[in-house]
Amino acid sequence: MVSPHDSDNKAIAPQKTINEQPGGLRSETRMTIQTRQAQKLVTGRKRAKGVQPIIGLLDYGRRMKLLWLSAQANDPYADLYLIKIEESIDETKQLIKEKKQWLDDVLNSMPGFDIDIAQSMQPIQVSIVFQNPYGYMGAYLISEYDELCCSVFTASHIGLIDRKTASSLIEAAGKLIRRTFDMAAKWKFTGVTRDDIKASNPVGLGAIETYGACPEPILSASKRAKIAPEIRENASKVKVTLKKKKTVQKIKDEKAQKPEEVTDAKPKTKKGTTSQETVAKSLFGMA
């Protein structure tokens, strides 16, 4: 006879003995969204005709994964951007804290009134899973922003602040969050390491051409972000070869000599995946 609990038992992984190593850790995190303003910061906006894209939390987290892995692989420019993003996160948190404190004072300024902050009757929950701390730090910003928006709408609804002030508060905080997320998009994967720059090899020179000279404290790794990955000196590295641009005539000559070998020069990638991401996935084994 099959026990009614057999199906449950099958889903439970066998326990390891004391002589075996524990399995990897997994956790599930859910954030609650109260306002549409915060929801838009999570989803972002796709590029469309006449419309510029806006990076949301989910895309930001995906980009931060590659940036984090590159900093781990001894890329000094990845370290530089981690510092910039961390500073932007701290600045945004401070601004939201100041605006929230000001609103709390406004909401408590009416004697004889006990005011509850407005809450959504049907909030949404978003499951988030990031593979580095910066993704979650971005989510915390949105959560604090969501709370700020609730306070703004409450104060506006009961006449303690005007519409212009309410709009200014929401826009100022949202702008800083979008700026933080956009920083992750400005960093481009090069596969460079500190050794490449010190050796002035083609990879190092190409990175310097892209980003400019790397500040000495960053290059020496004496200055890193407070939350930065441990540098793995033996991390894999992509070999990048810088080739001179061919002349139009030379290309025509090559085509005439080997017409059967002429193929589409565009890299074949999955829809929605850039060639930069493809190289990175090959380097870091990203799924």
155 three-class SS = helix
| Tens of pLDDT, residues 18-76 | 677 777 777 778 889 999 999 999 999 888 887 888 899 999 999 999 999 999 999 99
Q: In this predicted model, what pLDDT tens digit does every residue of 87-124 receive, in sequence order?
A: 999 999 999 999 999 999 999 988 888 888 999 999 99
Dist. CA 174–CA 141, nearest whole Å: 10
- Residue 34 buriedness (CB in 10 A; 0-12 / 13-18 / 19+): buried
Domain segments of the chain as ranges:
27-236
Number of helical (H) and strand (E) elements in the chain, helices listed first: 11, 2
- In DSSP notation, 103-135 reads HHHHHT-STT--PPPP--SS-EEEEE--SSHHH
Q: Is the predicted pLDDT of residue 85 greater than 90, yes or no?
A: yes
- Higher per-residue pLDDT: 154 or 256: 154
Please give the model's pTM, rounded to 2 decimal places.
Answer: 0.73
Question: Which two three-digit tokens encode residue 159?
Answer: 């006449």
